Structures are given as C-alpha cells and as structure tokens.
Chain A
C-alpha cells in the first residue's frame, strides 16, 4: 500500500489567482497521477507526472492551466492557474505502487 499526504485539504480562492496543491508519498513511486472529481461525477485524469520528465496531460487539460512539478520520487505539485468558478472541484493525487491505485485525501477547491 501507500500513504499519501495531500495539502491543503480545502481552500477558497478568488478568481484569477492560482493555487498549488502538494502531494507527498511515503515510498518512492515512478508515476504520480492527478485527478479532478466534480460533484456526482467520475474521477477525471488530468495528467501523469513522471520524475525527471514533463508531465503527460489528458485531452482537455493543458500545461499552462495545470502546471505540474515532480522534483523527486516521493513528491509532486499541481497548480491550478488563473482560476475561474468552473475550476471548483476536488483534486486528488494518486499512486499505483503495484496494481492498485491509492489516493490522497483530496483538496476541495472553491473559486469565488
């Protein structure tokens, strides 16, 4: 298994600002994943972060809006840039040490 510490757990932000979410894992993992979960909806993969290379973004998500850092094998950040109310959501980081996905506790973001 893996224990993931994600912070902040929640935040209320003004539109036009940026928020950086941090994710720390208790073991080294090759890839870290960032998801968005909107109310009543499935988890949507934003991007995959591999240490030492640029993140890979899913269709509909771009680096300018969601820049990701992966400085080492236990840590990653996701920034939500130039926020609008449509960015209000839960953001989750995830790792897959073997065959199962484990998640952080999520960041509940509200943009006003």
Chain B
C-alpha cells in the first residue's frame, strides 16, 4: 500500500465550478499537509500548508484535513482556466527530511 493515494484524474470542469481534490494516507504520524500546483514544464509551487486537522482558507482555495479519516482535501471555488494544472498533495510527520507525495491530479478548467 502506498503511503499517499491520489486520484490521477484527469478532472475536467467548466469555468466557475467548485473543484474538490483529495488524498488519502495511511500513516497516522503525518501532521503537516501541503498542496502544490504544478503547471506543465514547471516545478511544483506551494499552494497551501496546514498543520494537523482543520480547515485553512486562502482566497479561492480551502484546504481541509481530517486526521481521523486520514483524508485531506483541496477545494477551489470559482475555478478559472488559469487553475488548469496538476495538483499534488504532500505530507510529513515532522521529519522534514522526508516528504510523501501523491501522484498528482490533473485538472482542466474549460472556459
């Protein structure tokens, strides 16, 4: 079993839709959770960072962590074509020498 599971998509939505991206994980020691956005031919860009359980909002983006279910989500409101990218989840148990990444979900927002 992989440490982190993420649906690869692709996910195609119309402009303005609410997007939900998810990851599940198996290691209950994970405490730090991140979402990265990766445009084609670019490196991953940190989008959201959450410590432990709860929600965090930043503009159109909301990150949720449910540690009891070992499930994290990223919501994108009012999605835009510029949001079209691959979204990677990542997590760490506090040993910042080691991060665990999902395989990425490819999102396409159609104008």
Tell me the count of chain A residues lying within 8 A, CB to CB, of chain B. Answer: 25
Taking the closest CB of chain A, its distance from the CB of B43, in whole angstroms, is 4
Complex interface residues of chain B between 80 and 95 (CB less than 8 A to chain A): 88, 90, 92
| Contact call B101/A43, Cβ cutoff below 8 A | yes
A1 — which chain B residues lie within 8 A by C-beta? 46
* Residue-wise interface mask of A (71-112) relative to B, using a CB-CB cutoff of 8 A (1 in contact, 0 not): 000000000000000000000100010111111111010000
* Residue among A4, A31, A99, A102 with the highest chain B CB neighbour number at 10 A: A99
Cβ of A53 under 8 Å from chain B: no
Residues of A within 8 A of B (CB): 1, 4, 6, 9-10, 31, 33, 40-43, 45, 48, 92, 96, 98-106, 108
Residues of B within 8 A of A (CB): 2, 4, 6, 8, 32, 34, 36, 41-46, 49, 51, 88, 90, 92, 96-99, 101-104
